[in-house]
């Protein structure tokens, strides 16, 4: 397995996707990598969506859903410009990611529910995902 701590995030994604699933060990290593600096940046959040789109419907570790929802929620809600809130710019990014592969999968639905529970406010542009 690739040492997730010392390689670019793109290499981490390639390593995880090599076998088409994300297992418990990969989730654990990825979590350590993502939270090493205590924050999730845009490149990391985009990598999470890339992984999620590639492994959906596979026999992934159950911990993957938790990591995906926690980390993307943290990216959106623990930023400096709008902490606790999904602002319009973040919502536009999220919508693009959700709709990018033509379907909203179970992990993305879990992410939306987590945001609904955790966010102090969500923009109207996200309302259609909660109907």
Residue ranges per structural domain of the chain: 9-130
| Under 8 Å between Cβ of 56 and 105 | yes
| Mean model confidence pLDDT for the chain | 93
pLDDT tens by residue, 78-113: 999 999 999 999 999 999 999 998 899 999 999 999
The mean-pLDDT minimum among 1-5, 19-23, 59-63 falls in: 1-5
Q: For the chain, how big is the Rg over CA atoms in Å?
A: 14
pLDDT value, residue 4: 78
The H or E element spanning position 117 is helix 106-118
pLDDT value, residue 40: 96
pLDDT value, residue 76: 98
Is the pLDDT at 13 greater than 80? The verdict is yes
pLDDT tens by residue, 28-77: 999 999 999 999 999 999 999 999 999 999 999 999 999 999 999 999 99
Q: On the CB side of 28, how many CA atoms lie within 13 Å of its CA?
A: 4
27-63: string of b/e by CB count within 10 Å (b at 16+)? bebbbebbeeeeebeeebbbbbbbbbbebeeeebbeb
Is the pLDDT at 1 greater than 60? The verdict is no
pTM of whole model > 0.85? yes
What is the percent of the chain where pLDDT is above 90?
Answer: 85
Token pair listed for 23: 């297992």
Cα–Cα distances (Å) from 56 to 13, 53, 59, 79, 94, in that order, read 14, 6, 9, 27, 18
Measured CA to CA, the distance from residue 108 to residue 94 in angstroms comes to 10
């Amino acid at each position: 397995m690739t040492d997730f701590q010392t390689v670019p995030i793109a290499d981490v994604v390639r390593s995880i996707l090599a076998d088409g699933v994300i297992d418990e060990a990969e989730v654990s290593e990825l979590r350590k990598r993502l939270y090493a600096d205590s924050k999730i940046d845009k490149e990391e959040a985009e990598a999470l969506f890339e992984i999620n789109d590639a492994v959906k419907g596979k026999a992934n570790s159950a911990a993957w859903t938790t990591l995906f929802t926690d980390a993307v929620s943290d990216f959106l809600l623990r930023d400096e410009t709008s902490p606790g809130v999904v602002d319009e710019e973040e919502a536009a990014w999220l919508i693009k990611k959700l709709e990018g592969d033509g379907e909203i999968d179970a992990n993305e639905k879990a992410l939306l529910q987590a945001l609904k529970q955790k966010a102090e406010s969500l923009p109207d542009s996200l309302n259609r995902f909660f109907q």
